[in-house]
Amino acid sequence: MPDIAFLSATQLAAQIRERQIGCRELLDHILDRVERYNPSMNAIVVLDVERARTRADAADAALARGDVWGPLHGVPMTIKESYDVEGLPTTWGLPALADNRAERDSTVVRRMRDAGVVLFGKTNVPVLLADWQSYNPVYGSTGNPWDLSRTPGGSSGGSAAALAAGLTGIDAGSDIGASIRNPAHYCGVYGHKPTYGIVSPRGHATPGVLSQADISVVGPLARSAEDLETALDVMAGADGLDSECWRLSLPKETRTQPREFRAAVMLTDPNCAQDDALTTKLQETVDALARIGVSVSDTALPAIDTMESHRLYIHLLRAATSARMPDADYAEQLSFAESAEADDFGYLPMVARAVTQPHRDWLRAHERRTHLREAWARYFQEWDVLLCPTAASTAFPHQQDGQRHERTILINGRPQPTVDQLFWAGLSSVVYLPSTVAPVGLAKDGLPCGLQIIAGHGRDKTALAFARMIERELGGFVPPAGYD
């Protein structure tokens, strides 16, 4: 029998409600697994054991009285280190913030607690959440449970690794450059990047920052598509000043059967070299979907210029992330931008121009994005989802020397810039669309693959319903070997 730790969060919650396992019993079982498996993987970097045990005992007592706190009553949870949890450190991997302890819970933490979870720890991240690996000078490096010599992804890499290894019941991450989607793909779990603005990021920021960054969102990671939807329903909704004037009502999705869905497919693009082994596995999944009745097209693509879309994404992405840039680095970028040719669209010149652009240029870029959003809206009037990769390959070996833009990964045996993979991150991010990543099996190298499911604006439930259909019809999460 598989370890109970690999059940989905909703299955765990059901077993608790049915008195098949106690909240404290389940927490202690998970903590035993953490003690056994986490030292070699380093996915969970902060533990809050005593408060968690007190909470689990209270959850058991409440259940004995017939009081169910919510849909995730008693489920053990970890969360990305960058979220504020009252009394715990929030460092974003920066030594300068090693002593920074949160005074209150972030909105997501508060809402997940209200849903019943027992939060017991925090998971590893890269410095300032700025890598598709998860290592930093405060907590060290995290390995992928499928192969510890490889990255679990980033920036929510510790979250995905902990889920895959059965060290937590559910988790939450953030995503501006596939930081939920990429780790889900690399570790073989589920992740959902919500429509921009529907989940409050309050309490997911460096000290003193209250405003939401452009493009950036927060959302759930889990071991099932149902878990993602349950968590999204808990997390989403107006918060703070917004709660005075608006209420969220996401369109429901009633379709469940393959024949009811229309899926367009885009598995390659000239902007990003794609590994054949990954493409083959994703194509096998698409072929299987067609066989069971999904209406599939590999020619029905949105009426957009993907190169222009990608350049616009880099322009707006690096404008957003420039807020954290030290003044000395900004001065260097300004000098570089002034010396670069205007028609040089290499990654570094694009970043330099984005970081130092006048606000007038940003407004023009935002206007171009708005036109792009309208094009996508017209597209999703005809198609329910667009299926595409999450990254260029399966999880790559750790490479922590130099700067991210200097590194390469092997694609079909040839070195390619790691930053090229941002194409698949930006396709939905630049236009604020929801994306779900669902595991669809193993590539030829024995590593997991995730299929990215993009849906229309506010149609999070459609992407999630499609992921649930894939899970039911073709299979879903499979644990890595060695963690039973």
Q: Please give the structure tokens belonging to residue 362.
A: 């940003």
The residue length of the chain stands at 484
For residue 80, indicate whether it is catalytic.
Answer: yes
In degrees to the nearest 10, what's the CA dihedral of 287, 291, 293, 298? 30
By the 10 Å C-beta count (0-12 exposed, 13-18 middle, 19+ buried), 67 is classed as exposed
What is the CB-side half-sphere exposure of residue 302 using CA atoms within 13 A? 28
For residue 444, indicate whether it is catalytic.
Answer: no
Q: Please give the structure tokens belonging to residue 359.
A: 């606000």
CA distance linking residue 36 with residue 39, whole number of Å: 7
Q: Which candidate in 82, 106, 141, 155 is catalytic?
A: 155
Pairing, β 118-123 against β 76-80: parallel
CA distance linking residue 280 with residue 265, whole number of Å: 13
For residue 461, indicate whether it is catalytic.
Answer: no
Q: Which parts of 131-216 are beta strand (E)? A: 135-136, 140-141, 171-175, 190-193
Q: Which residues contact 68 (CB under 8 A, 6 or more apart)?
A: 17, 62, 116
Q: Which candidate in 80, 122, 193, 461 is catalytic?
A: 80
Q: Which candidate in 106, 179, 309, 428 is catalytic?
A: 179
Question: In sequence order, which ranges of 81-125 are alpha helices (DSSP H)?
Answer: 107-114
- The backbone torsions φ and ψ at residue 59, rounded to the nearest 5 degrees and listed phi first, read -65, -40
As annotated, the active-site residues are 80, 155, 179
